[in-house]
Amino acid sequence: MEFSEDIGRHNALDKVIGKATLEGVEFTRTLLASTGRLTSEMVIKAASAGIPVIVSMAAPTDKGIKIAEITGLTLIGFARGRRFNIYTNPERIVINKD
C-alpha cells in the first residue's frame, strides 16, 4: 500500500502514483483513496495511471464526474464508514449487506 501526503492533494497524488510506478504496482487492481475533493485533474491523473476506482470522503466536482464517466472510472464520494455515494460505473462495487 502506498501513502503520500503533501500540502496540495494534487502533489500527494503525483507522489503516490510515481512511487507506486517505480515499485511496479499493477494499477488495474488498485483503488485511490483521498480525503479531499475529487477534481477533474485528479480523475484524469488516476485514469491515466489505469486506476479503476477513486473514493473520497469529500464530494467530486461536476467536471470530475463527467471525466470519470468518459474514462470508465468508478467515482465514489462522501465515504463515511459503510455509507458512500457512487457517481459513475457502479458495476465494480459489490455491496455486502451483512
What does CATH list as the number for 28-83?
Answer: 3.40.140.10
Q: Quick one: pLDDT band at residue 12, thresholds 50, 70, 90?
A: confident
Distance CA 92, CA 58 (A): 20
Task: Report the sign of the C-alpha dihedral through residues 97, 50, 27, 21, in that order.
Answer: negative
Query: Cβ(43)–Cβ(34) under 8 Å?
Result: no
Q: At a CB cut-off of 8 Å and minimum separation 6, what does 13 contact? A: 4, 32, 34, 42, 45, 46
Please check the confidence at residue 1 and state whether its pLDDT lies above 70.
no
Domain ranges of the chain: 28-83
pTM for the full predicted model: 0.86
Q: Where does the pLDDT of residue 96 fall: very low under 50, low under 70, confident under 90, or very high at 90 and above? A: confident
Q: How far is it, in rounded angstroms, from Cα 23 to Cα 80?
A: 30
